[in-house]
Amino acid sequence: MRFILLVKFRTGPTEEIIAQNLEIIEEEVKEGIQLIDIYWTLGRYDAVAIVEAPDVEAAMRMSIRRCENHIIETMVAIPAVEARRFVER
């Protein structure tokens, strides 16, 4: 399953917070979670991440791990090709 995370930093992204986040990402790989890409953005959100996780529960744990330093809105992402099948029914 793919997920899109819209992220706001609770505080500035310090070197310590970035290092912690990289350690968490390494641990999550062992759980089957893969960071596809991450973008730092200007505007309403500070970052957007695209992630693959085995299920919704894994994605939930991933977001909760980061709640001390981030406010995260997580969305399930369905490829357009697959989503169109719902319209064709």
Predicted pLDDT of residue 88: 73
Taking only the tens of pLDDT, the chain with its 89 residues reads: 999 999 999 998 899 988 998 999 999 999 999 999 999 999 999 999 999 999 999 999 999 999 999 999 999 999 999 889 888 76
Residue 36 pLDDT: 96
Distances from the Cα of 3 to the Cαs of 17, 18, 39, in angstroms? 22, 21, 14
Q: Please report the pLDDT score of residue 89 as a whole number.
A: 67
Tokens of residue 39, six digits: 């973008």
54-57 — which CB contacts under 8 Å span 24+ positions? 54/1, 55/1, 56/1
Count of domains forming the chain: 1
- This prediction has a pTM of 0.85
Domain encompassing residue 9: 2-88
Q: What CATH number corresponds to the domain at position 27?
A: 3.30.70.920
Q: Which helix (H) or strand (E) holds 74?
A: strand 70-77
Please report the pLDDT score of residue 55 as a whole number: 95
Tokens of 51: 């992630």
